[in-house]
Amino acid sequence: MQFLGIESLRNLGQEEQSVVRSFDVGHEKQIGVGFLFKQGMGTEFTDYVFPYYSICYVIKGYGKYTDHKGRTYELSPGCVFQRFPDCNHSSSIEVGNDWVECYLDFDRSSFEFFVTTGVISKEQPCIQGSPSTGIVTALFELMRDLKSYPQAELPDLLIRGATILRDMQQPDVKVDSSKSFIKLSSEYFSVHYQQRIDIQQYCQEHGKGYEWFRKTFKQTVGVSPRQYIVRRRMDVACQHLRYSTQSIKQIALVLGYSSASDFSSQFKSTLGQSPQQYRQGHIIKSNTI
């Protein structure tokens, strides 16, 4: 699923416009992302208390938000407002207004952690900012990946969600959608380094031009996408060679190589020595310390 603009999301079913994933059997630790389309209805919530944390980003429309201390803020495109757990608040949308928002939800324990570490400031329940396609795109891509990623990879998406949460609270920092995509791609490559990733197909699936992506990735990261994946494999290979007793063939299979010879050939061309030489050199060095 590719991001083709907010208007294209209106054609999706309501259940397709949001997602919630749980990290535990009890469904107490969760992350959720979604988009809401509303016609101006006047009062939306009055002294309402959320059981979890939600940060909302106004894409379109105008309204008002009143926090738990009675302070009222004007809402317009680019504004961010937060619904804190156990804190009453009110919100309204101008009557007859076409309202669009996207939101990011976290469970109570994650919220408390983010407050403790300074990621969330309860002193800034509403933040005035300018419209950013980068934030909207990042939230859409997080929603898409939450729908498809296996359970074991959810922690990676939690980290991405925390990064987006931080960016949403820094309106003066302009989020470049191209840099956001490069960052998400490098994170994806770091996790899936053992797979045979077809870079051109990857670009097609995400609606990006191959030459643009290759050039922008190298300018941003310092190496090409293919070199980045190889470096990641070599980092992991070195860890296995240093700290495990696995054979060269076993390590090759773990890293996604079809044979030990293919792995050894790439390892030598990258590091200037064979995997066995690297392992022996590390053992000798360790024994002399």
Average pLDDT on 192-198 reads 88
Q: How confident is the model at residue 65 (pLDDT cuts 50, 70, 90)?
A: very high
Question: Taking the CB of residue 228, how many other CB atoms lie within 10 A of it?
Answer: 19
Q: What pLDDT was estimated at residue 3?
A: 63
* Domain edges within the chain: 6-175, 194-289
Of the listed ranges 53-57, 64-68, 134-138, the least confidently predicted one is: 134-138
CATH architecture of 6-175: Sandwich (2.60)
Q: What pLDDT was estimated at residue 122?
A: 87
Does the structure show a pLDDT above 80 at 14?
no
Across 49-117, the runs of DSSP E, i.e. the strands, are 53-60, 63-66, 72-75, 80-83, 89-93, 98-106
Does the structure show a pLDDT above 80 at 224?
yes
Using alpha carbons only, what angle is made at residue 214 by residues 211 and 216, rounded to the nearest 5 degrees? 100
Average pLDDT on 135-139 reads 88
Of the listed ranges 9-13, 155-159, 269-273, the least confidently predicted one is: 9-13
Average pLDDT on 192-217 reads 87
Q: What pLDDT was estimated at residue 142?
A: 92
pTM above 0.85, yes or no: no
Q: What pLDDT was estimated at residue 153?
A: 85
Q: What pLDDT was estimated at residue 177?
A: 56
Does the structure show a pLDDT above 60 at 188?
yes
Does the structure show a pLDDT above 80 at 53?
yes
Q: How confident is the model at residue 33 (pLDDT cuts 50, 70, 90)?
A: very high
Q: What pLDDT was estimated at residue 5?
A: 72
Burial of 237 (0-12, 13-18, 19+ CB in 10 A): buried
Q: What pLDDT was estimated at residue 288?
A: 38
What is the rounded average pLDDT for all residues in the chain? Answer: 86
By percentage, how much of the chain surpasses pLDDT 70? 92
Average pLDDT on 219-240 reads 90
Does the structure show a pLDDT above 70 at 190?
yes
For residue 203, give the nearest of 195, 193, 211, 194 by alpha carbon.
Answer: 211
Burial of 123 (0-12, 13-18, 19+ CB in 10 A): exposed
Q: Residues 90-134: pLDDT tens digits?
A: 998 988 778 899 999 999 999 999 999 888 988 889 988 777 778
Q: Which fold has domain 194-289?
A: Arc Repressor Mutant, subunit A (1.10.10)
